[in-house]
Copies of this chain bind each other. A is one copy, B any other.
């Protein structure tokens, strides 16, 4: 089923945590104002899986997180914003461990069942004493609104992001912070998915990897790969078994929806950009071409300015030199109106194209008419706002 349809059918008006989960968010003094710390807990041990950045300069929480998640279960996630604990050596590893230990001691959870994230500026030591004190002070402030904790992992996001969807009697709640805006330092993305469905490992792990492949891995704000990207799922089983296929479909749809929310709220963005590619030789080639379109600064500025410079889409397809492309077969649509094909070059109305590009979202669809490969990538426009935010992020 189409992901939009799944979201419509299963969406909760108000984000709520699944059964047996609680959370807290607060300020521990890393930021002058606003929340900078978040904790999510499950009252019982949950099956868990995670995917992490492939950046070769990973942060301490990513290095440890890969180890922790290997056991396949978790009870808590603790995360801070403002300082990312990346490029901090062995002391950084110890500081990350201290975050988990503070949660373990305060809430009586095994230390090995606590995973941690940090997001923000890199290369600066983590003010771990403040975080430890903040964790202790959170005791007694737990509740069931995921937006409170979502606020704790925000950096330059304009609003906290969390929503809930249903699968039969179970619920999936997904919390995220933005790519390219969250820690503008390096497009840090953090995603936490909580569910009370009973989905066990290794299936849970596989379903997470599948969902990430079509959603967050197809999201790009500025091509810069974070040292801290982390996506975790916890399934505590308190709502019992659900149909696996429906769970997988709903999980995929929720991840795509969150990817779109992150893109739309990226640094300086004024609109969501979608790049659909069909008719490519293979799925892999479709993904490459969709990403080439979504990453092109010239297409991003075209969308921003509603400048009908549609030739840039041809350029972005053509620069995928390793893909099979036959220029005379390419058809381009913007928001479902055909704007380019070899034989119909003249049905291109500049005024209409301007109107289409002025909208939000701008959906670019390219049919290569060669094979069965299809993919969609998610991104945003490029504006003066992006330049301004990133020319002074460290200093501000």
Residue positions of A touching B, CB distance < 8 A: 54-58, 84, 86-87, 89, 121-123, 184-187, 222-227, 295-298, 301-302, 304-305, 307-312, 314-321, 323, 325, 327-328, 330, 340, 342, 345, 348, 382-384, 386-388, 390-395
- A384 near B393: Cβ-Cβ < 8 Å: no
Cα–Cα distance between A298 and B180 once the two chains are bound (Å): 9
Partner of A386, one of B185, B297, B320, B340: B297
Chain B residues, Cβ within 8 Å of A307: 390-395
Query: Could you tell me if A224 and B391 are in contact, using CB atoms closer than 8 angstroms?
Result: no
Considering the complex, give the chain B residue whose CB is closest to the CB of A390. Answer: B301
Q: Is the Cβ of A227 less than 8 Å from the Cβ of B314?
A: yes
How many copies of this kind of chain does the complex include? 2
In the bound complex, CA of A125 to CA of B362 (Å): 26
What chain B residues lie within 8 Å of A348 (beta carbons)? 123
A318 and B394 CA atoms in complex are apart in Å by 20
CB-CB nearest 3 A-B residue pairs: A305-B391, A57-B318, A122-B311
Q: How far is the CA of A395 from the CA of B321 in the complex (A)?
A: 29
Contact indicator B184/A394 (Cβ below 8 Å): no
Verify B227–A301 contact, CB threshold 8 A: no
Q: Is the CB of A298 within 8 A of B184?
A: yes
Distance, CA A392 to CA B224, complexed state (A): 25
Asked if B87 and A122 sit within 8 Å, CB to CB, the answer is: no
Partner of A57, one of B185, B225, B314, B390: B314
B390 touches A302 (CB 8 A): yes
A321 and B55 within 8 A (CB): yes
* 17 additional contacts (CB under 8 A) given A58-B318, A86-B314, A222-B298: A56-B319, A57-B317, A57-B330, A86-B311, A87-B340, A89-B345, A121-B309, A123-B314, A123-B345, A223-B295, A227-B315, A305-B390, A305-B392, A305-B395, A309-B394, A383-B387, A384-B388
- CB-CB under 8 A for A315 and B226, given A56-B320, A394-B307, A394-B308: yes
A225 contacts across to B, CB distance below 8 A: 315, 318-319, 321
Which of B89, B185, B312, B388 is close to A312, meaning CB atoms less than 8 Å apart?
B185
Which residues of B sit under 8 angstroms from A315, Cβ to Cβ?
55, 57, 122, 185-186, 224-227
A312 cross-chain contacts in B, Cβ below 8 A: 122, 185-186, 224
Name which residue of chain B comes closest to A84, CB basis.
B311
Q: Are B317 and A56 in contact (CB under 8 A)?
A: yes
Give which listed residue, B186, B386, B387, contacts A311 with CB less than 8 A: B186
CB distance from A287 to the nearest CB of B (A): 16
